[in-house]
Amino acid sequence: MASEGFQPLEEKSLVEYIKATPSLFSKLGNELDDLQIKEVGDGNLNFVYIVSSPSGSFVAKQALPYIRCIGESWPMTKERAYFEAVTLRSMNTFQNIWQGLFSSHHVFTVLQAVAEFCGNVELCRLTEQVVFSDPYKVSPHNRWTSPYLDRDVEAVCEDNTLKLEVAELKSMAQALIHGDLHTGSVMVTSNSTQVIDPEFAFYGPMGFDIGAFVGNLILAFFAQDGHADQENDRKAYKDWILRTIDETWNLFHKKFTALWDKHEDGSGGAYLPAIYNNPQLQLLVKQKFMKDLFHDTLGFGASKMIRRIVGVAHVEDFESITDAGKRADCERRALDFAKMLMKERRKFQGIAEVVSAIHELH
Ligand code: ADP
Ligand code: SR1
Ligand code: MG
Ligand code: MG
Ligand code: MG
């Protein structure tokens, strides 16, 4: 049994662990007076504790030898905590994560990092299964919230065009990515934005991260009608979500291309100046890269939407709609949009067109 000898932390053992770990103990001023510990994990995989005292605070995260939301029947390597720690140590911002391909790092440094993350195979395999495979076939792990969606789920499994598209998305690698960048992995205050939970970090397609974020925003949009009532039609919130989708891509585009320009003479090996040796060609290649990345983003966003409706792990936005009929209507609209987006993604010229399409279908 994978969990043999494993002890989930509880308050007493966590305190012992803190006492025995100087780097943690010192964050609390080497005092345990008035210590507060709260388990806040709402994720699918791990336990998360907020530890605070008058002298300081930190968050402790424990990986279990299985998937928390399933139980011991689905073992999962605890090494994921190692990859999360390595990623957190080396990647402080979004920008750093996506900078890999074009940064002035020597190619060798990038290769070393690629080699390190090659070890994160089990979590890559999990993503491959629950994002790109299970939703398109019969799997004991798939679930959908009511029989109203039975026919829709069958349709996904019978859709050959959708399957061809998802196969293409499954096999790409470009940069060190977060690997699970849904909206719940982003924590914000009015003056700070932090990304948490990078245990799925690996070398993969950049569109997987941006797509995950945008896909979750689209799911949130389609869920709103299930929460609307006489007091709040949710229109203002829906408009905010659409604006945020638009701004997410546009801001990413602006910052990423600015980094590209800044590092154009760097030692990154992707677009060697000796080959892309004139300004027109350099512009063309940058435009092509950004266009492909946009279409990848839409494809990955769509695949993340589909898995959250017919696959094993869902989103609270839909789960919390209590009326099953209303919920299924919202989920079906999101699923239909995602299928269209996956298949037609190369026809979209820009994010504004995607936002209009959401409006029209809605
Ligand atoms: P999992 O890998 O199981 O998804 P997460 O790292 O996403 O675990 O943590 C689960 C939840 O715990 C988060 O969605 C958030 O609510 C809470 N959490 C995690 N890290 C912090 C933090 N640094 N501060 C406050 N809450 C946090
Ligand atoms: C069993 S699948 C669990 C999911 O939760 C994580 O946050 C990832 O999204 C993973 O696919
Ligand atoms: Mg999480
Ligand atoms: Mg969460
Ligand atoms: Mg996680």
Q: Identify the residue whose tokens are 């074009």.
A: 102
Q: Which of these, 63, 50, 206, lies nearest to 123 by C-alpha position?
A: 63
Q: What ipTM does the predicted assembly reach? A: 0.95
The partner residues of 193 in beta bridges, in order of sequence, read 188
184 lines ligand 1 (CB under 6 A): yes
> Which residues touch 258 (CB under 8 Å, ≥6 apart)?
none
Contact (CB, 8 A) for 145 and 324: yes
How many domains would you assign to the chain?
2
285 lines ligand 2 (CB under 6 A): no
Q: Which atom of ligand 2 is nearest to the CA of 43?
A: 7
181 lines ligand 2 (CB under 6 A): no
46 lines ligand 1 (CB under 6 A): yes
Q: Does 338 map to a domain?
A: yes
Nearest CA to ligand 1 atom 22: 59
Do 235 and 332 lie in one domain? The reply is yes
CATH of the domain at 305: 3.90.1200.10
Which residues crowd ion ligand 3, with CB under 5 Å? 43, 197
Q: Does 4 map to a domain?
A: no
* Spans in the chain with pLDDT lower than 70: 1-2, 91-111, 171, 267-270, 272
What CA–CA distance (Å, rounded) separates 359 from 84? 37
Q: Does 94 map to a domain?
A: yes
Do 44 and 180 lie in one domain? The reply is no
Dist. CA 44 → ligand 2 center (Å): 6
Q: Does 5 map to a domain?
A: no
What CA–CA distance (Å, rounded) separates 303 from 215? 8
Which residues crowd ion ligand 4, with CB under 5 Å? 42-43, 184
Q: Which two three-digit tokens encode residue 269?
A: 């090996």
123 lines ligand 2 (CB under 6 A): no
Do 29 and 112 lie in one domain? The reply is no
For residue 195, the model assigns a pLDDT of: 94
Contact (CB, 8 A) for 48 and 41: yes
Do 90 and 49 lie in one domain? The reply is no
Nearest CA to ligand 2 atom 7: 44
For residue 293, the model assigns a pLDDT of: 95
Q: Which of these, 224, 230, 226, 211, lies nearest to 348 by C-alpha position?
A: 211
Q: Does 2 map to a domain?
A: no
Distances (CA, A) of 200 to 226, 262, 334: 31, 29, 25
What CA–CA distance (Å, rounded) separates 175 from 207? 10
For residue 284, the model assigns a pLDDT of: 86
Contact (CB, 8 A) for 45 and 69: yes
Do 41 and 124 lie in one domain? The reply is no
Do 55 and 182 lie in one domain? The reply is no
Q: How far apart are the first and last CA of the chain?
A: 48
* DSSP letter assigned to residue 253: H
Full residue range of the structural domain in which residue 109 is found? 79-361
